[in-house]
Structure 1
Amino acid sequence: MTREELQERILSILEHDFEFEAPGLTDNLRDDHGFDSIDAIELLGKIETMLGFTLSREEKEQAMSIRTINDILDYIEQIRSARQS
């Protein structure tokens, strides 16, 4: 899956499941969209489903630094790359 395809899927999830309106890739998820820790846990579950595997505790802890949609995309690419190595 390319970054563009990932972006489309993540934007779709955020718009449909979290009711984001016109999210920008550099928007602060918390400040601009009211994204909270419960939302983050739910999003990680959706990312696991999308990737087809369960994230390790360490991988989930890495998600704590996510602030923007670009961060989400970087996070997914990093995990996929590490798993393929």
Structure 2
Amino acid sequence: MTRDELQGKIVAILVDEFEFEDPGLTDNLRDDHGFDSIDAIELLAKIEDMLGYQISRKEKEQAMSIRTISDILDYIETIQTAHSS
């Protein structure tokens, strides 16, 4: 998946499932949209569904530094690269 395709899918998930309004790539998910740790767990499950494989515990721990949609995209690209090797 290209970064643009990933962005479209992630933004759609955030709008449809988490009721974000006009999310920007650099918005702070917590401060600007009230995203909490339970939301993060749910989002990781949706990312796993989207990718078609389970994310390892180590990869899930790496998600703790995510703050923006751009961070999510970087994170997914890193996971995709690791799983394609």
Deviation at 1:80, TM superposition (A): 0.3
Q: Per the alignment, in what secondary structure is the counterpart of residue 55 of structure 2?
A: coil
**Following TM superposition, by how much is the alpha carbon of 1:18 offset from its aligned partner in structure 2, in angstroms?**
0.1
The normalised TM-score by structure 1 is 0.99
**Paired amino acid for 1:14:** L
In the alignment, structure 2 segments of 5+ residues that lack a partner are none
Does structure 1 residue 60 correspond to structure 2 residue 60? yes
Percent same amino acid at aligned positions? 75
1:1-85 equivalences under 5 Å are 1-85=1-85
Give the TM-score of the pair, scaled to structure 2.
0.99
5+ residue gaps, structure 1: none
Q: CA deviation at 1:59?
A: 0.4
Q: Give 1:47 shift.
A: 0.1
Question: RMSD of aligned C-alpha atoms?
Answer: 0.3
